[in-house]
Amino acid sequence: MRRRASLVLLAFAVFFAAMAPTLRWYAFPNLAKIPSNQYQEAVLEAKPAVLLNYSTLTAEKVDKITIIQTLKGNVEESRRIERDAGRDVVVWDALSYVTGPDGKMVSQIPERYIFDAHTQDPVNATGEMVDGDAVRREGIEFKWPFLTEKRDYQYFDAQTRTSAPIHYKGTRTFRGLEVYYFEQTIPWTKVPMPKKMPVEGVTPEIVNSTGMTRWYSTKRMFWIEPVTGAPVNGEEIHQEEMRDAKKMLGKDKVTAFSGHVKMREDYIVSTVELVESNRLIVLMLVSYLPWSFTVLAVLLLALALWLEARARRPRGLTPV
């Protein structure tokens, strides 16, 4: 009876010993992925800020600029691209919608971001764009990979349509979470005019015909929860200028937008709550269950060997 029990325990020990690496190195890479139908919204504010009044073509100090960022999963496009790519793909239709203190639109920049659902690596496919301009991304955007590393990454900048390093600057604590802090500085760069202008009847072509050009610089900051790779906070020190404006304004340049953009408090709270719940799911696959199964396998093996030893122990002689 003891020998039969030891064999059963040994079988369970082998099972759990095999499951531990399977969960970590097979199940996790295949199960941990971004859903194709995900929808996210974040509201950021710059208080105060400097904004160009397009009616008077002068820079004015305003109380607040609001930026509403939405990411909407396009399931139909994901399935279409997956057929050719042969892997799980997520298509995010993103929109950055900027409003002034009066709630009126200042600018809106749509994007289509296509990436691998598991690794977050970009998938270059037809339809990838920023504000209607076809682009070919390199590096990440919006989200870091699962199990983010303490290193620099290539990060795509939508304004310049190029990628540049975003630098790991150390580990910090944010709202009780251990996070990795990253920074990226984009130097002054000439960038396209938004397709949608805030003044009715004014188009990028009209502005370009005056000789004016749009320039942009930013310092981008992210606090990343490393297990999920999700940003729990983001800020930008954002600057835009209209240059070569002497013909129109009598001076070389005028500030179009300047401000320290920060995520609104209620969105920080909801983001942290969501990340904490997702973090637990990822940790179950990469740490908690594999280590628990390993310990359980060792205990079951020890118990099986002990029972086997008891079964093999010679019994005392029966007296005549």
Regarding whether 302 and 163 lie in a shared domain, the answer is no
- Tokens representing residue 271 in the block: 């983001």
Regarding whether 298 and 197 lie in a shared domain, the answer is no
In a domain, 186, yes or no: yes
Three-state DSSP state, 61 = strand
Regarding whether 74 and 18 lie in a shared domain, the answer is no
Query: 86 burial class (0-12, 13-18, 19+ CB within 10 angstroms)?
Result: exposed
Is residue 248 within 8 A of residue 209, CB to CB? The reply is no
Regarding whether 164 and 70 lie in a shared domain, the answer is yes
∠244-245-250 over CA atoms, to 5°? Answer: 125
| 282 phi/psi in degrees, rounded to 5 | -65, -40
In a domain, 91, yes or no: yes
User: Residue 55's pLDDT is what?
Assistant: 77
User: Residue 317's pLDDT is what?
Assistant: 47
Name the domain count of the chain. Answer: 2
DSSP 140: B
Candidates 190, 223, 198, 236; CA nearest to 69 is 236
From first to last of its 320 residues, the chain has per-residue pLDDT tens of 556 777 777 788 888 888 888 888 888 888 889 999 999 999 999 999 999 987 787 899 999 999 999 999 999 999 999 998 889 999 999 999 999 998 999 999 999 999 999 999 999 999 999 999 999 999 999 999 999 999 999 999 999 999 999 999 999 999 999 999 999 999 999 999 999 888 877 888 888 888 889 999 999 999 999 999 999 999 999 999 999 888 777 788 999 999 999 999 999 999 999 999 999 989 998 988 888 889 988 888 888 788 777 777 665 544 54
In a domain, 318, yes or no: no
In a domain, 273, yes or no: no
Regarding whether 70 and 13 lie in a shared domain, the answer is no
In a domain, 317, yes or no: no
- The whole domain housing 172 covers 32-263
